[in-house]
């Protein structure tokens, strides 16, 4: 049985659609929702594990893309270079899971790895290239 963990980014108009139910009904995939939330821009984000026949899985991914859902394979780990980070704070508002926080006393940016779903959004956004994905 094939299984994969993915991140889905839904446009705001699709947030209420029962797309995930369709994955089970039409493509006979088992799904396990690991995290789901709507970010401040009203974009839906869902991290889920899909299991089933690989051909059906591929069809389901094609269906999602057709529906304008951005599908991203869950990357392994996001790491921050302590040398490169200048604590500018840009990543704090970008991260959909609040994995960055301002430390009130020092005003430094804390990276809370356990909250990170490795969606990769912050990696391209950091102007100092302090964030990277390790596979």
* CA distances, 9 to each of 2, 30, 88, 104 (Å): 22, 19, 26, 31
Rg of the chain taking only CA atoms, in angstroms: 17
DSSP secondary structure letter of residue 76: S
Among 13, 86, 93, 103, binds ligand SF4 (CB under 6 A): 86
* CA distances, 99 to each of 41, 64, 85, 110 (Å): 17, 27, 15, 8
Nearest approach, Cβ of 48 to ligand SF4 (angstroms)?
15
Nearest approach, Cβ of 7 to ligand SF4 (angstroms)?
9
- Binding-site size for ligand SF4 (CB under 6 A) equals 25
Under the binding rule (CB under 6 A), the answer on residue 126 touching ligand SF4 is yes
Under the binding rule (CB under 6 A), the answer on residue 79 touching ligand SF4 is no
Nearest approach, Cβ of 61 to ligand SF4 (angstroms)?
21
Closest residue by Cα to residue 41 from 87, 93, 81, 86: 93
DSSP secondary structure letter of residue 84: T
Under the binding rule (CB under 6 A), the answer on residue 29 touching ligand SF4 is no
Residues in touch with ligand SF4 (CB under 6 A): 78, 80, 85-91, 94-95, 97, 99, 109, 116-122, 126, 128, 130-131
């Amino acid at each position: 049985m094939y299984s994969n963990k993915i991140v889905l980014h839904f446009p705001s108009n699709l947030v209420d659609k029962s797309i995930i139910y369709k994955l089970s009904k039409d493509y006979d995939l088992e799904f396990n929702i690991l995290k789901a939330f709507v970010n401040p821009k009203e974009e839906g984000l869902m991290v889920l594990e899909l299991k089933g026949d690989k051909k059906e899985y591929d069809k389901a991914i094609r269906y999602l893309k057709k529906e304008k859902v951005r599908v991203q394979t869950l990357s392994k780990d996001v790491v921050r270079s302590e040398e490169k980070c200048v604590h500018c704070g840009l990543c704090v508002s970008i991260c959909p899971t609040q994995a960055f926080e301002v430390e009130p006393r020092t005003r430094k940016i804390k990276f809370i790895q356990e909250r990170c779903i490795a969606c990769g959004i912050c990696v391209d956004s950091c102007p100092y290239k302090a964030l990277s994905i390790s596979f």
